[in-house]
Each structure stands twice: as C-alpha cells, then as structure tokens.
Structure 1
Amino acid sequence: MPMVTVSISPLQAAGIRAAVDTGTYASSSEVVREALRMWDAARKRGDICDAPQAAKDLQTAVKSSRCVADMFADYEAERRRHN
C-alpha cells in the first residue's frame, strides 16, 4: 500500500488515538482510511464541491454543495466555541 505523510492538528491526533483506544478502530490507519472513504463518497454524491473550481466561478457554484474549506471552517469554529 502506498504511504502518504500528512500533518494533522493535536486535536485530530487525540481523536484518532481515542477511537483506537476505545476499540472503535483497530489502528490509526484504519481511522484515516475510513475518513477518506467518507470524503470520497461525499465528493461523489456532490455533497462537497471542487474548491479550486468553485473559487474560479463563484457565481455559478452549486449552492447546496459544501467545499472542504467550508467544512474545515465550520469545524474550526465549533472547536473554538468549545475551548
């Protein structure tokens, strides 16, 4: 299997560790693979949009689609509310 190195926040790392520690997932790799499957499925359904394309053509972007950047901004806002 190809290996990819990514950087994640300490909060994300703690969430992954907790999922493994509670037995929900067998490994951190399993957590990340599941997240990527969910992202890919959402992308294929059109639940998220192509951020570079949306940035090029904001007027005609599908308003019901969510860009990953939007989801990240929502996540960060929620995290700040709880800190």
Structure 2
Amino acid sequence: MPMVTVSISPVQAAGIREAVDHGGYASSSEVVREALRLWDAARKLAEYRDDVLNDEDRASGSRCVADMFADHEAERRRSA
C-alpha cells in the first residue's frame, strides 16, 4: 500500500487518537481511510448533483463532508 504523509491540526490528531483509544477503530490509518472513503462518496455525490439536479435542488439538499461523517459515526455507534 502506498504511503502518503499529510499534516493535520492538533485537534484532528486528538480526535483520531480518541477514536482509536475508545475502540472505535483499530488504528489511526483505519480512521483516515474511512474519512477518505466518506470524502470520495461526498465528491461523487456532488458530481451526481451537478449532472442531474438543478441549482435549486442542490441548494436545498447540499451537505458537507463533516455532516456526512457525523451521520456515519452516529450510525456506527448505534450499530455497535
């Protein structure tokens, strides 16, 4: 698997450590991979909206990646 080095804020690093320490994830890499999967899904959804929906529909239904991630985390906790 290719290695990539990134810089994150101390708050983001603490959030990753907390997720691992509380047993939600096995490693920090797992947290980052999941975040990237969510980012990719959000990007694909945005592309779909650009192709299919009109401007009014996009404005009323747009969601940021942070919202999607929060929803995903809440669902994961409910399933645990």
Q: TM-score, normalised by structure 1?
A: 0.58
- The higher relative CO (CA closer than 8 Å, separation ≥ 6) is in 2
Any residues of structure 2 matched to 1:56-75 within 5 Å, and which?
A: 64=59
Matched residues in 2 for 1:17 and 1:40: separation?
23
Structure (1/2) with the larger strand percentage? 1
| SS at 2:8 equivalent | coil
- What's the Cα RMSD here? 2.7
**Letter of the 1:19 counterpart:** A
Match of 1:22 in 2: 22
Percent identity over paired residues: 78
Structure (1/2) with the larger helix percentage? 2
Q: How many residues align?
A: 57
Give 5+ residue unaligned stretches, structure 1.
Answer: 48-59, 72-83
**Letter of the 1:20 counterpart:** V
Give 5+ residue unaligned stretches, structure 2.
Answer: 48-54, 67-80
| SS at 1:46 equivalent | helix
Q: TM-score, normalised by structure 2?
A: 0.60
